[in-house]
Amino acid sequence: MKSFHIITFGCQMNEHDSERIAGILEGLGCASANADCADIIILNSCSIREKAEQKFFSELGRLKQLKASRPGLKIAVAGCIAQQEGAHILSRAPFVDMVFGPSDIAKLAEIIENTASSPVPVIDTQGDPEYHLKRLPTVRADKVKAWVSIMYGCDNFCTYCVVPYLRGRERSRPPLDIVKEVQDLVQQGYKEVTLLGQNVNSYGSGLEKKIDFPSLLTMVNDNTGMERIRFVTSHPRDLKERLIQAIRNLPRVCECLHLPVQSGADPILSAMNRRYTREDYLCKIKMLRDAVPDIVLTTDIIVGFPGETEHDFSMTMKLLEEVRFDGIFAFKYSRRPGTAALRLSGHVPENVKEGRLTHVLALQKAITLEHNKRHINTVQEILIDGYSKKGGRLCGRTRGNKVVNIEAPVNRVGHLANVRITAAGANSLAGQLCE
């Protein structure tokens, strides 16, 4: 096998898993190639919502023809749908050669070798109990910003979510492994790291030596030289004063936080098994803003969760108006196999979910624009990380993670620069270098 092509669906965890898959394949002497000429195509799938699953199966369908025209081509399915469906994928797509789960990536070389000698497709979704102790070779897509997993899995069992079933129980990586990986990234010239976990606030549970997430952040801040440190995702229930103080006091930790609220109505939060109330959440927002006044706050919202009434929905709209997040990700509730919410009564019709989503997005667009406009005429420290979508200009991010398109000489990628913000839209800012 000489070349590979990876198609990634879903979240940052999947993007980062694909970087590890690429690392292992390059280690085997394979080079990245276009789908038309690659020897192996890997689809790294996502099943967080039905739409993501549909996208994956339609892409898989397209590959059927490619495989028919090139029988030597190997097709692999990785990620959450691989874990969820296992061998069942073959009943929909018998042309698939291998299926492996998110915690089986370290076995990829072996899986490929077995496929070469096996008359039937190789399925490996057993997981690897030592996965969190391994550091896999990684080919990173970006040269300025990097992801580092600090933990895998999730123990929270929010009633709508498949993650705990597909990514397994929560396992934290040892802190020194994480610090070493970030040190190595600094050596390679990386300027920003995002520490990844489904609930970073419970980092450390299960590790031999007692450590919590604020202590890990302090270690990364003090011992690596990484310019900027970010992290996702924080569960509101586990957000404590110690983390707020870490964001406030650690100079390399950026002043922004993604804190998914999901709903503004207590009966829905309870049915979701989020284990905090609207008041708890608002109290934590106040603590954050008291300690770090300029903090950039973002959230996730699910509309149309089973049993969500018009009143419940209005409580979510009110919460958005009250908190005035800088940005949100909003989703229509999607039924997921095996989750507890499937069995709840009061499933909301699709057209009602659609209407609620439209309302939420319209309200938030106005709030985001208002926040962004406040940046005009301020000077922001920007990490320049590439080129703007429309081309011609450089692009970077503020410490609050806002996108800024910049008029600047091309040689500034990978540099921090002070930029005066001259214009603001709902999706991005524009600015000019101060020097």
The binding site for ligand SAM (CB under 6 A) comprises 11, 48-49, 160-161, 163, 198-199, 233, 235, 260, 262, 300, 302, 331, 333-334, 336
Q: Which of the choices ligand SF4, ligand SAM, none does residue 402 contact, using the CB cut-off of 5 to 8 A by kind?
A: none
For ligand SAM, the closer CB: 83 or 334: 334
- Radius of gyration over every alpha carbon of the chain, rounded to an integer in angstroms: 22
Site string for ligand SF4, 226-255 (x = CB under 6 A): ---------x--------------------
Provide the angle, in degrees to the nearest 10, between the axes of the packed helices 175-187 and 213-223.
30
Q: Which of ligand SF4, ligand SAM, none lies near 380, with the C-beta cut-off 5 to 8 A by kind?
A: none
Site string for ligand SF4, 179-208 (x = CB under 6 A): -------------------xx---------
Q: Which does 157 bind (CB under 5 to 8 A by kind): ligand SAM, ligand SF4, none?
A: ligand SF4
Residues 145-174 that bind ligand SF4 (CB under 6 A): 154, 156-158, 161, 163-164
Q: Return the one option of ligand SF4, ligand SAM, none that residue 11 interacts with (CB less than 5 to 8 A, by type).
A: ligand SAM
Print burial letters for 385-411: b (CB count within 10 Å at least 16), e (below 16).
beebeeeebbbbbbbbbbbbbbebeee
By beta-carbon proximity to ligand SAM, the closer residue of 163 and 417 is 163
Cα(326)–Cα(224) distance, integer angstroms: 29
- Pair 208, 177: CB distance under 8 Å: no
336 binds, among ligand SAM, ligand SF4, none (CB under 5 to 8 A by kind): ligand SAM
Of 59 and 300, CB closest to ligand SAM: 300
Nearest CB to ligand SAM, comparing residues 288 and 302 = 302
Q: Which residues pair with 394 in a beta bridge?
A: 387, 406
Q: Please report how the helices 213-223 and 241-249 are oriented relative to each other, as an axis angle in degrees rounded to 10.
A: 10
Total residue count of the chain as it appears in this document: 435
Q: Nearest distance from residue 401's CB to ligand SAM, in Å? A: 16
Task: Answer with the entry of ligand SAM, ligand SF4, none that 334 interacts with (C-beta below 5 to 8 A by kind).
Answer: ligand SAM
Q: Which lies closer to ligand SF4 via its Cβ, residue 156 or residue 422?
A: 156
Could you tell me the two tokens for 190? 């990386």
- CB nearer ligand SAM, residue 160 or residue 190: 160
Residue count at the site for ligand SF4 (CB under 6 A)?
10
Least distance (Å) between residue 233 CB and ligand SF4: 7
Q: How far apart are CB 217 and ligand SAM at their closest, in Å?
A: 18
Q: Are 95 and 64 in contact (CB under 8 A)?
A: yes
Distance, in Å, from the CA atom of 273 to the CA atom of 158, rounded to the nearest integer, reads 5
Asked if 298 is part of the footprint of ligand SF4 (rule: CB under 6 A), the reply reads no
Task: Specify the residue, 135 or 237, whose C-beta has the smaller distance to ligand SF4.
Answer: 237
**Contact in structure between 307 and 265 (CB atoms under 8 Å):** no
Alpha carbon dihedral 82, 83, 89, 94, in 10-degree steps, equals 60
**Residue 40 interface partner, choices ligand SF4, ligand SAM, none, CB cut-off 5-8 Å depending on type:** none
Q: Distance between CA 296 and CA 257 in Å, rounded?
A: 6
CB 78 within 8 A of CB 112: no
**DSSP assignment string, 354-412:** HHHHHHHHHHHHHHHHHHHHTTTT-EEEEEEEEE-TTSSSEEEE-TT--EEEEE--GGG
Q: Which residues contact 170 (CB under 8 A, 6 or more apart)?
A: 151, 152, 153, 154, 155, 198, 199, 202, 205, 206
Q: What is the Cα–Cα distance from 362 to 372, expressed in whole angstroms?
A: 16
> Judged by CB under 6 A, does residue 79 bind ligand SF4?
no
**Whose Cβ is closer to ligand SF4: residue 14's or residue 221's?**
14
The minimum distance between CB 287 and ligand SAM, in angstroms, equals 19
Q: Quick check: 316 binds ligand SF4 (CB under 6 A)?
A: no
